[in-house]
Amino acid sequence: MAKKTESTFINMLLTLFIITAVAAFALAGVYELTKEPIEKAKLAKKIAALNQVLPAFDTVISQNIEFPDMAMPLGFNFALKDGDTVGIAVETFTMNGFSGLMRAMVGFAPDGTIIDVVHLEHKETPGLGDKVEKKKSTWSDQFKGKNPGTFKLKVVKDGGDVDAITAATITSRAYSDAIDRAFIAFKAQKGDSHE
């Protein structure tokens, strides 16, 4: 067996330098290799969400729009068919989830009616709050076809019209908050474009 390298200052310095340099090169290589698949996977997810919440479209124009009083800009996706706007999908968020941040995409018809809502990201409790996911429960279907102008986006307990998920009121409240934020942004954006 070869003798072990001694712990002199220069040895330690060299070893750590070589190890970190090799690791850095290896990671840079893997990052380059996986960059494309990661972007593809993200895009596929976004397209799947867009198809879920919007009517048939041929072009999507995406842009991030900042609003005062909102912690981060919301992603707006304007869906066009033959040049007419057929729907707007808003990527919205809330910080009030049971485990913090939740993100969702809300599709609005041009008159403000909700076409559908789909979650993008959440860390809610498995078996309880994760019922916001379409594949876990039909709970989020209750927003379909509702116009937030007349449909109050609050859970029944708080005097609104949203049926909360059993044993996950906080999650339901947060999800309603996210959708409400999308609607406020949708209205504000519409108001801007008319001026």
Partner 1 sequence: MSNLTNFTKGFIKENPVFIMLLGLCPTLGVSTSAFNGLGMGLATAFVLIMSNLVISLIKNLIPAKVRIPSFIVVIASFVTIVQLVLEGFVPALYESLGLFIPLIVVNCVVLGRAEAFASKNTVFSSIIDGTGMGLGFTFALTLLGSVREILGSGNIFGMNLGFYPLDADGNPVVMLVFVLAPGAFIALAYLVALNAMLKQRMSKK
Residue showing tokens 């209205």: 187
Least Cβ distance, residue 183 to partner 1 (angstroms)? 26
Least Cβ distance, residue 96 to partner 1 (angstroms)? 19
Q: Where are the beta strands (DSSP E) in 68-179?
A: 74-81, 84-97, 100-108, 114-121
Of 24 and 61, the one with the shorter C-beta distance to partner 1 is 24
Of 149 and 157, the one with the shorter C-beta distance to partner 1 is 157
CA separation (Å) from 72 to 99, 107, 111, 133, 185?
A: 18, 19, 25, 23, 12
Least Cβ distance, residue 10 to partner 1 (angstroms)? 10
Least Cβ distance, residue 89 to partner 1 (angstroms)? 20
Of 27 and 156, the one with the shorter C-beta distance to partner 1 is 27
Of 38 and 95, the one with the shorter C-beta distance to partner 1 is 38
Closest by CA to 98, choosing from 181, 180, 183, 175, is 175
Residues that bind partner 1 (CB under 8 A): 1-8, 11-12, 15-16, 19-20, 23, 26-27, 30-31, 34, 36-38, 40-42, 45, 121, 123, 125-128, 166-167
CA distance 52 to 57: 12
Amino acid identity, position 61: I
